[in-house]
Structures are given as C-alpha cells and as structure tokens.
Structure 1
C-alpha cells in the first residue's frame, strides 16, 4: 500500500492492533469509573437543613422541613442546673414566635457529666410533662469528638466553637446558615431579640413576594 506521496506505508501488526484496542478499552473503562464515582458520591450537605437526623423515637427526619424558617438549635440536658430556666424560656419563645416562622430544635447530649442520663424518649416525655415543652426533640447525640453528630458539627464548625456545657444556642436563618450563637450563661433576652428580628425579616420578605 502506498501513501499519497508515493511512499509505501507499513500496516500495523495484529499484535499492535490488539494492544491499541486494549488501551482504548482501558481508557474508556477508567473514564466510566470516574464518572460513576462522581455521580454516586454523596453530595456534601451545604447547610443545616440539608442534613438528616433521628427523632426521639429513632426515626430518620429530614431537616428540610424547617427550611424557610428561623431555628434556634440547642444542646439540652435534663439534670443540669440550667435546665428549668432554659426550658421555660425556650418554650415561651417557641410559642411567641409561632411555628410558621420559627422553631426551637432540641438536641439532647450526655457528654457533660451526668446531666443527661435518660434515653431519648424519656428526655422528651420528661420535658413535656415537667415544663410543658412543645418544640421538637431529637435523638440524644454527641457533639464533641470523632462521633459528633454531623448536623450539630456543621453548627460548631460554622462558628469555630465547641460547646463547653449544656444549652448553647445556635440561631439558624431560613437558608440554613448560622447567624449567631450564645453560650450557656448568656442572656435569653438577647436570644429573643435576635430571633424576633430574624422572624420579622422572614415575614416582611414573604409579604413582598405576595
């Protein structure tokens, strides 16, 4: 066989053809594997409402149900010296600001001494019967160390602080971003003021959109 310029060309050997085919197949398989890996890889949650958690009965719950609202997320405990004043003030705020725009979300934690010895269901029942709480309780979690709950870790990573005790409070906006946090000993009046202002923003925005 001759090329256009009149010079003879050498046909590839059968061995070379086989190697070329095998190389193409290997490259194709590699590309397909990378594509599948990227498509199947779970997407990293981008905000607090992107996570799934367990409720007090151990059932999976998507936090998407709270998107569009303001949320006060709190690590709670039943036997802390701060339990009664916090539960009562949190319930009052939960009732005042209405669940259509705001929720207190309680995450029990047993990592601070013996302040939370109960099971998740008992924690919720005790808070309801003793303090009249109506806000959601979730399953007891860890918020420190390698076993920290991913949703709560998102909060602590956002503020670059890990709670030193019970009843740290994280204010999450309608888009799932942390906008403020308060330590245990900080005034609930400040929490109320900030949460109320955020709820007002939500209401005004909805009125403009109508």
Structure 2
C-alpha cells in the first residue's frame, strides 16, 4: 500500500513538473563547449533553427537569419542556431569549424550551439520539446521554431518556407513584447 502511494505521488510530481516545462527551462551546450541555460533568453522571442553548412538552403537561410538578428535582436529577439548532421550529412564539421565558417562566410552574430540530433531516439531534449509542443518534427535542415517570450512554441516551418515569409509573424510578436514591456514600466 505504501509503495503504491509513493508511486502515485511520484507520477503526479513528474507530470506536474512536465507541465511547467517550457523552452527556456532547458540547458544546452554552446558551440564553444560551455553549458548555457536557455533561461537567459526568457522574455525574448526566439527563432530556433537546425542549421547545416553544406545544404542547398544554407546560403539563403544564413543570410536571412543574420539579417533578422541584426534588425530585431538582441534585446527582444534572438535566432538560436543548432547545427545538425542528420539530414544528408550536410553538417560534417566540428563545432570549431562550423563556428569559424558561419562567422567568416555570413557574419553570424546570433548564438550557436553544439551539434545535436533533432529527431529520433537520440534527439536532444530541446528538440523533443519543440517537436512535441508543435506536433511538427524536422525532416530536413533549417526547420524553424518560433518560441514566444513565455517559452511556448508559437509556430514551426520547414526549410521551404523562407525567413522572409515568416518575418511578419516574428515582427508582430516582437512588437507586442516591446509594447507589453513599455506598459509594465
């Protein structure tokens, strides 16, 4: 009887903790090997993207993502790049090589993280959360997840949807966030 009650309590505790989870409750490793709490981005809008250096979408997406970061970030918005080698083996390099490439080739200033798996059994917990929350799982490079200031997934788009196409959605959420912050002052 006692063990059954303990089990029920533990299941209840686990489910209530799961409900409190959002994107910003996770920790990840950045591209330079340091553990980073995503909590530092809470209150901002984030566009989370699984990136690859040798994909047909690389050029257009990196340029547009960097422009978006330049125009809207870093106080109310951030692009968060997660290299992934799962699709077509198009991100074969080391973190150091990826970091040097994106900075030199595209002038990337947005945060980049270590190379991860975004689908399957070995998927990183951040991407498990994004997939479960949106009911949309990446099937190629440059999937984009829009995360609100509260850590909840707002929407997700595949690589065939350009950054320019989703820019109005992002801009509107950022605008609402700025207005809300002004009202709080």
Which sections of structure 2, spanning at least 5 residues, go unmatched? none
Partners of 1:108 and 1:136 in 2: CA distance: 11
Give secondary structure in 2 for the equivalent of 1:147.
coil
Residues 136 and 156 in structure 2, CA contact (< 8 A), matched pair in contact too = no
Partners of 1:71 and 1:187 in 2: CA distance: 16
Which sections of structure 1, spanning at least 5 residues, go unmatched? 1-26
Instruction: Compare CA radii of gyration and give the structure with the larger one.
Output: 1
Give secondary structure in 1 for the equivalent of 2:140.
coil
Partner residue in 1 for 2:132: 157
**Deviations 1:68-100, CA, capped at 9 Å, x for gaps:** 000000000000011011000000000000200
1:73 paired to 2:83 = no
> Quick one: which of 63, 71, 95 aligns to 1:120?
95
Partner residue in 2 for 1:14: none
Residues 30 and 113 in structure 2, CA contact (< 8 A), matched pair in contact too = yes
Identify the structure with bigger relative contact order (alpha carbons < 8 Å, sequence gap 6+): 2
Q: How does 1:133-152 map to 2 (within 5 A)?
A: 133-152=108-127
Partner residue in 2 for 1:188: 163
TM-score by length of 1: 0.80
> Quick one: which of 68, 73, 88 aligns to 1:93?
68
> Quick one: which of 40, 52, 55 aligns to 2:30?
55
TM-score by length of 2: 0.90
